[in-house]
Structure 1
Amino acid sequence: MNVRLSVIIPAFREERGITSLVDHLTSRALRETAEILVVDGDSEQRTLVALQGRDVIRIGSDAGRARQMNAGAAQARGDVLLFLHADTRLPPGADTLIFQALRNLRLVGGAFRLAIDSPRPALGLIAAAANLRTRLTRVPYGDQAIFLRRAAFEELGGYADIPLMEDLELMRRVRRKRWPVVLLREAALTSARRWEQEGVWNCTLRNWGVRLLYHFGASPARLRRFYPTAESLDSGARPFPPS
């Protein structure tokens, strides 16, 4: 079977929501031949257990989103790799939108517009600011469902093995190579749960501060201490810091 798209989902204690994500992908987001790979960084592999009987490729991995996404990419067969956070939903027909955009052979990949699943005006403002930043820098966040041609991803050597900022680091390398990417108008809808758990402005100001420190050279390993550990979050809540 010729697989055009591989959807790679890093997960950690997502057993409560992973089946709904897979159902969303197969019923709404994917219309062409695609494969779904779920990479579980939990040693107990509870997310993979929840997926028994589903038509997905289940992969165990060491914890760490970069490591998990690289592990998924190593087993993927698609011509295009889409990296999807477990708390994010794609727009209907996302694969068709991607392949329509990639008819332009100059493009190496891209991402969707960011939307946050909440009616709160503050979160709408945060999403708008993130989309403006992405338009100006051409460096999308991981929450925007980054996709890359396999050949480009392999030439880059995959994600750097760092504990956070792996998505920005990867896309900055794309920008340094002057490879063009597309920013689609359609939105990837990400959960508001991390803002709800930590507080909207506490979470946002922390994220902005950490990204500023990273921009000025602070190491991801040192910045990791500003984020809660997986054990401090409710079961099923996202343990990864936002990219």
Structure 2
Amino acid sequence: MAESGTPELSVVVPALNEAAGIAAALAPLQEWRERGAEVLVVDGGSDDGTLEAAAPWADRVLEGPQGRARQMNAGAAEATGRVLLFLHADTRPPEDGDRLLLAGLARNGRSWGRFDVRLSGAGRHPLLRVVGSLMNARSRLTGIATGDQGLFVERDAFEAEGGFPEQPLMEDIALSAALKACCGRPLCLRAPIRTSSRRWEDNGVLRTILLMWGLRLRYWLGADPAVLAARYKQG
């Protein structure tokens, strides 16, 4: 907790129909709250009781416009921390991730960063371990982070860049590129954040790799994010 009484860190979790798993997602953040972090859940119109399930585990549960970028921006607008961490509802951060990111930003003089990612099914599917390693290596090479890696950023830098562009896909890539241009390369923490590999396993690992590579290439070539989002939903 900062000397002013405001939190150093605010964690923003966008959610949509996550009632079955939201408590498990927020449980690891309870020690962070004890250390002064603020946790906000931004619901995008759930009809399964997500709001009620999340309430005991968060400082605030907000109702926002549907769309992950819109929800994260709405949470950031209500957050009071100096640093913002955007955490997907199907990710689990390192136990001491709050300390690591705050100390890392201060030590390295960076304004933003991300964790390494580990896919949850890596123990069952060795190829998923390779996928995670490639994601982390690519991020270090390009200086671009994805939402699955737990993107964190100082509030001043986030607001200066206008937050997440309110597009239906690749909002994390777009913000990363803007932050890299204005603030330099990200702090890349090697402590792993674990994210669900359900989509990879359900749709096939190789098929999903090719899909994601193709979507990203088309995005960099100027494709409409709405068109890419529709293709992503098809799997």
Q: Distance in 2 between matches of 1:55 and 1:13?
A: 16
Cα offsets for 1:17-49 (capped at 9, x unmatched): 11111111114x566211110011125372112
Aligned to 1:8: 12
Aligned to 2:70: 67
Relative distance call for 1:113 and 1:31 in structure 2 (3 A) is: farther
Return the TM-score normalized by structure 2: 0.92
Q: Distance in 2 between matches of 1:48 and 1:153?
A: 26
> Is 2:111 aligned against 1:102?
no
> Is 2:165 aligned against 1:160?
yes
Letter in 1 for 2:18: E
Aligned to 1:117: 120
Q: Distance in 2 between matches of 1:4 and 1:159?
A: 21
- The Cα shift of 1:99 comes to 1.3
Cα offsets for 1:207-230 (capped at 9, x unmatched): 11000100111110111111227x
Q: Distance in 1 between matches of 2:211 and 2:228?
A: 11
Q: What does residue range 76-91 of structure 1 map to in structure 2 within 5 Å?
A: 76-91=79-94
Aligned to 1:50: 53
- The Cα shift of 1:105 comes to 6.5
For structure 2, list consecutive stretches of 5 or more residues without a partner in the other structure. Answer: none
Structure 1 consecutive aligned stretches of length 4 or more whose deviation exceeds 6 Å: none
Return the TM-score normalized by structure 1: 0.89
Aligned to 1:181: 186
Aligned length: 229
**SS at 1:86 equivalent:** coil
- Percent identical among aligned pairs is 41
**SS at 1:183 equivalent:** strand
- For 1:127, which of 132, 153, 160 is the aligned residue? 132
Q: Distance in 2 between matches of 1:178 and 1:228?
A: 33
> Is 2:29 aligned against 1:25?
yes
Q: Distance in 2 between matches of 1:127 and 1:30?
A: 28
Aligned to 1:195: 200
Greater helix proportion:
2
Q: Distance in 2 between matches of 1:53 and 1:106?
A: 35
